[in-house]
Structure 1
Amino acid sequence: MKFLKFTLYIFLPLLLLNSCRDYVEVEPVGNNRILKYTSDYRGLANNYNDMTVAGGIYLPANADAEFSTAYQNGVSTIWANSYTWQDKIYDPSQGDSDWIGLYKAVYYSNVIINGVMGSEKGTDSEKKEIYAEAFVHRAFAYLQLVNTYGPQFDPKSANSEKAVPLLLNAELFSSLERSTVGQVYDQIISDLKSALANDIQDSPQFNVLPSKIAVYALLARTYLYMGQYDLSLDNAKKALAMQDQLIDLKTFASGYSYPVLIQNPEIIFSKTLLMTYSGVPLSNDLLNSFDSNDLRYDYYTIQGNNFYPSYSGRGFGIAAYSYTNGINVGVSVPEMYLTAAECAARLGKTQDAVDYINILRAKRYKAGASYQVSAATNTEALSLAITERQKELIGRGFRWFDQRRLNLDPVYRKTYTRTFKGQTYTLEPNSGGYVFPINQNYIDLNPELGK
């Protein structure tokens, strides 16, 4: 096994546990520091900043975003490259924060999985709980990684295209050969099922911790991305059977009434994008899709002068109303209703699909306003579900993952064009622009990443 310079560069600080020193008790052994007690592993599992990371480089690239001519002059090169779907995002002096953050979460998860069951001064149930949680964190990280740096999963193919490395052990001497799309998805499902097999807790005290509800919801998301709609619907229904509360926006005086993340009853499992991506301007087409009675326009979006650089349009509002919220992309109750609606429509259950949509819309419209939709066919119900998904999940990058999977459907695939600083860029369905490149610096240090 060769020594991986890049892996060491990223993970040596993790071995020293500098970021967790306040939470993890370590004892020196020779020239190393090790985790010894169950409480050490709990501290590592509860390392909020590192375990809730979700990336976000795709946020400027998705169809929700639209940079005005004036705004284009103030954005970073990284944003510009993402916005125009370039095959190179970072220059040689830059690191990829998404890649580093997600693999850090993978590494922490592996440390826990490999060691917590043999730790001291903890009960078997405590160890098992931490062990089960780590599988969920790792599954989420790999779901983000494969959908950022790998081709879209195609249920009609072998999914043998290379995606990202599958690192399943906490070691610095390992190959970074990339696994296939199919292998990564197999591991995601295996990890989530391992969490269930180890009796993960039904509902934790805080939504930043994994739970059985989160597992069902993540399985629903994963199977949706895989086009396995029956399994996605089944797991969405399981999640909703355990947690189905929706916020009624009619009860709010303003966007500042929106609950903070850990008190939000809609959030099943919190994961947030890097705040670096806060303030991406929203497209006029998307903003104009809200009718005057839809409260989400006022509560999910905010004037662009609240961001830097400022702009005349509107951006994602929830993170601006309260910075503690961040840009949440973890699984939620609204997402489960929309996933159930889409899957029901695809499976020929038209009325069920419409019912799921209307349950959500009832909490999003002004008092006395007409909110109900109807559909005579599965096709109409599916269109309603996809449109509602764009509005409910606005500004968080879900649109990018939806664009990728909908490219496989001739009805919904679309070619996108953008003009940036006078030059026109085009994103064709299923093109290489839908796969973010691995940083060339990392390939130079680890050539197997480029194979």
Structure 2
Amino acid sequence: MKFLKFTLYIFLPILLLNSCRDYVEVEQVGNNRILKYTADYRGLANNYTTLSSFGGIHLFANADTEFPIAYQNGVSTIWANSYSWQKIIYDPSQSDADWNGLYLCIYYSNTIIDGVMSSQSGSDAEKKEIYAEALVHRAFAYLQLVNTYGPQFDPTTNNSEKAVPLLLEPLLFSSLERNTVGEVYDQIISDLKNALANDIQNVPQFNVLPSKTAVYALLARTYLYMGEYQLSLDNAQKALELQKGLIDLKTFTTGFNYPALTKNPEIIFSKTLLFGYRGAPLSNDLLNSFESNDLRYNYYTMAGTSFRPGFVGRGFGIANYSPTTGINIGVSVPEMYLIAAECNARLNKTQEAVDNLNILRAKRYSAGSAYQITAANSTEALNLALTERQKELIGRGFRWFDQRRLNLDPVYKKTYTRVFKGETYTLEPNSAGYVFPINQNYIDLNPELGK
């Protein structure tokens, strides 16, 4: 039993997926003999590695990634299967690190939510702060899960398609029946609003901790994915009222000037891709979209020879320029300006959209260059916003989520093709290829996952 308690934090996702009934004798993490004082829960809430380091398997599937021919023979089967949009990503000997990490974060969050308010030797304010932080972590994890393993949210339907299990209590005996896309989104919004109701702090000491700014920013991202553009805009603006610092790339002399994660004024709430997802080659279409005076080309990308395995071309470079940073997939100030620009354009506020873009571009172009753009109408503004989004948010997998939601618009939906090891693969709009399959090993052990 002592061994099980010690390893539970590490192996809980596997425990959950190895038939719930097998683990009814395991003492839960939330038991008072393990977590008793408020300080215990603060320690759990500060476990950055578990709560903030997530997967990113969709990084290889999105249109920003392009494997050179010579590079293709050196990639793992997992990378290859994602890149070619296969129905099976993992072989029977492999586990899904994305799924495991996200549900481990949810288990930690559920443990805190379930027990912190009744913990000992802490003030009500301390307990509420920890409680609210856990709600934000859980919401972030479910937003990643539903957009990786579930169909795209469609504002014109009731979103009754099955997505992922909603586990809201730290139970080791629980059904893994999948909830619908709509139910998961409802829970995400509920958690974020509940965090606000519990007086989450405005801006924490470190950006790895959730905050009120992060809640508004996550609501902005969530509503964007839902096609609720006015709500998305409202929350992006609230986030920018609390935090709007941008890095001026003109002050850099090299990419190695890029700040470490905890010192980056642009990051509102830090979440990072797993280390193993670094180094994906960027597509030529994306690289060619950068103008010669756009400093992001040199400071966001790096020669392929700097990665292992190396390749001809360029990869996303920030994690190499600043090794302690990792690849941030959490919400940021640039993302809020981009969301505000897109939503303003969709709401026919052309000048406001362009203004948002120019605020960001002013910090991204070389000194003395003509960075400002104009748009004659909201359609032009929207196209500019989407193009700017691709350049600013490269290397993080955001393009995959954008492809999914843009498929619902006849103007922007697109069929993608790519050649891998001599064979051509096609990804049709709204096809099953946009939903990553749940690992068959997990379905075999828990058949409700396959229903």
TM range (shorter): over 0.9
The residue that corresponds to 1:235 in the other structure is 235
* Alignment correspondent of 2:122: 122
SS of 1:35 mapped into structure 2: coil
Contact 1:54/1:144 (8 A) holds in 2 = no
Aligned partner of 1:315 in structure 2 is 315
CA distance in structure 1 between the partners assigned to 2:16 and 2:108 by the alignment = 18
Cα pair 2:53 2:274 within 8 Å, conserved? yes
Structure 1 residues 128-277: aligned runs within 5 Å: 128-277=128-277
Matched, 1:448 2:416: no
From the superposition, tell whether residues 388 and 15 of structure 1 become closer, same or farther in structure 2 (CA, over 3 Å).
farther
TM-score (norm 1): 0.94
Q: Which residue of 1 aligns with 2:393?
A: 393
1:409-448 equivalences in 2 (<5 Å): 409-448=409-448
2:19/2:445 contact within 8 Å kept: no
Instruction: Give the CA deviation at 1:6.
Output: 2.2
CA contact 2:337–2:360 (8 Å) conserved in 1 = yes
Gaps of 5+ in 2: 1-14
Following superposition, the deviation at residue 352 of structure 1 comes to 0.1
**Structure-2 residue corresponding to 1:292:** 292
Q: Which residue is 1:96 aligned to?
A: 96
The percentage of aligned residue pairs carrying the same residue is 75
Shift of 1:283: 0.2
Q: Distance in 1 between matches of 2:263 and 2:199?
A: 25
Where does structure 1 differ by over 2 angstroms across 4 or more consecutive aligned residues?
A: 3-12, 14-17
What is the distance in 2 between the residues matched to 1:138 and 1:243?
22
Q: Find the partner of 1:6 among 18, 22, 26.
A: 18
- Any conservation in 1 of the 2:28–2:172 contact (CA below 8 Å)? no
Rate the CA distance shift 1:136–1:86 in 2: closer, same or farther, 3 A: same
CA distance in 2, matches of 1:15, 1:319: 39
Q: Are the aligned partners of 1:135 and 1:195 in contact in 2 as well (CA < 8 Å)?
A: yes
**Structure-1 separation of matches of 2:404 and 2:89:** 19
Q: CA deviation at 1:8?
A: 5.8
Secondary structure of 2:54 counterpart: coil
Q: Return the letter of the residue paired with 2:69.
A: T
Q: 1:291 to 1:357 in 2, by over 3 A?
A: same
> How many angstroms does 1:53 deviate by?
2.4
Q: Is the 8 A contact 1:4 1:446 kept in 2?
A: no
**Other structure's SS at 2:315 match:** strand
Aligned mates of 2:347, 2:445 — CA distance in 1: 47
Shift of 1:34: 2.1
Letter matched to residue 328 of structure 1? N
Partner of 1:68: 68
Pairwise CA distance, 1:312: 1.2
TM superposition shift of 1:90: 0.2
- How many Å apart are 1:16 and its aligned residue? 7.9
How far apart are the structure 1 equivalents of 2:22 and 2:89?
Answer: 19
TM-score of the aligned structures, taking structure 2 as reference length:
0.94
The match for 1:363 is: 363
CA distance in 1, matches of 2:292, 2:17: 55
How far apart are residue 280 of structure 1 and its match? 0.3
Task: Name whichever of 191-200 and 50-59 sits farther off.
Answer: 50-59
SS at match of 1:424: strand
* Aligned partner letter, 2:411: V
Supply the distance in 1 between the matched residues of 2:444 and 2:318 (Cα, whole angstroms). Answer: 39
Which secondary structure state, in structure 2, belongs to the residue aligned with residue 163 of structure 1?
Answer: coil
Paired with 1:11 and 1:153, the residues of 2 have a C-alpha distance of 34
Question: What's the offset of the Cα at 1:322?
Answer: 1.6
- Cα 1:161–1:248 change in 2 (3 A) is same
CA distance in 2, matches of 1:328, 1:413: 27
CA–CA separation in structure 2 for the residues paired with 1:223 and 1:53 = 23
3-state secondary structure, aligned to 1:34: coil
- For the pair 1:376 / 2:373, whether they are aligned, the reply is no
Q: 1:4/1:237 Cα in 2 relative to 1: closer, same or farther (>3 Å)?
A: closer
Q: Is the 8 A contact 2:149 2:437 kept in 1?
A: yes
For 1:37 and 1:10, the matched residues in 2 are separated by: 29
Matched AA of 1:400: W
Q: Report how far residue 39 of structure 1 moved.
A: 0.5
RMSD: 1.7
Change beyond 3 A, Cα 1:255–1:16: farther
